[in-house]
Structure 1
Amino acid sequence: MTNQKHQFDASPVVVEDLAPALRLSLRVKPAHRETLGRALGLDLPTRVGSRAAANGAEALCLGPDEWLIVAPEGTDLASPARAAYADAPHSLVDISDREITLRLSGPAVLDLLAACCPRNIAAMPVGAAARTVFDSATVILWRDGPTDFRMDVWRSFAPHVRSLLTQVRTEIAAGL
Structure 2
Amino acid sequence: MLHEHHPLKGREIAMREAGPLAIRAAADCARFSLRLDPAHLAEASKSFGLALPGRIGDVAVSGGRLAVCLGPDEWYLTAPLAEQEAVEHAFAGLYATAVHSLVDVGHREVGIVVEGAAALPALRSAIAFDIEAMPVGTGCRTIFDKAQIVLLREAQDSFRIEVWRSFADHVWGILQAAGREIALGV
Normalising by the residue count of structure 2, what TM-score does the alignment of the two structures yield?
0.89
The number of residues matched between the two structures is: 174
Amino acid across the alignment from 2:112: L
Encode CA deviations 1:7-64: one digit per residue, 9 max, x unaligned. 1111321100012110010001111121121122121111111011233211100101
Describe how 1:49-128 pairs up with structure 2 within 5 A: 49-75=57-83, 76-128=86-138
In the TM superposition, residue 4 of structure 1 has moved relative to its aligned partner by 7.2
Instruction: Give the partner amino acid of 2:68.
Output: L
For residues 40 and 18 of structure 1, the distance between their equivalents in structure 2, rounded to whole angstroms, comes to: 22
Per the alignment, residue 25 of structure 1 pairs with 33
Q: Structure 1: which amino acid aligns with 2:151?
A: L
- Contact 1:22/1:70 (8 A) holds in 2: yes
Letter in 2 for 1:158: A
For structure 1, the 5+ residue unaligned runs are: none
From the two aligned structures, give the one with the greater strand fraction: 1
Counterpart amino acid of residue 73 in structure 1: L
2:28 maps to a residue whose letter is P
Runs of 4+ in 1 over 3 A off after TM superposition: none
Secondary structure, aligned partner of 2:43: helix
Alignment-derived partner of residue 13 in structure 2: 8
Q: TM-score, normalised by structure 1?
A: 0.94
**Paired AA for residue 52 in structure 1:** A
Q: How many angstroms apart in 2 are the aligned matches of 1:43 and 1:57?
A: 10
Q: In structure 2, how many angstroms separate the alpha carbons of the residues matched to 1:63 and 1:55?
A: 24
Task: Kindly provide the CA deviation profile for residues 148-173 of structure 1, in whole angstroms up to 9, marking residues without a partner as x.
Answer: 11111110001111111111111111
- Cα gap change, 1:123 to 1:68, in 2 (>3 Å): same
- Secondary structure of 2:107's counterpart equals helix
CA contact (8 A) 1:33 1:88 kept: no
| 1:59-117 superposed Cα distances (whole Å, 9 cap, x missing partner) | 10010110000011121201111112111111001000111101101111111111110
- Aligned-partner Cα distance in 1 for 2:101–2:9: 34
**Equivalent residue letter for 1:46:** G
- The Cα shift of 1:119 comes to 1.2
Kindly indicate whether residue 146 of structure 2 is the aligned counterpart of residue 142 of structure 1: no
Distance (whole Å) between structure 1 residues aligned to residue 62 and residue 14 of structure 2: 32
Identity of aligned residues (%): 40
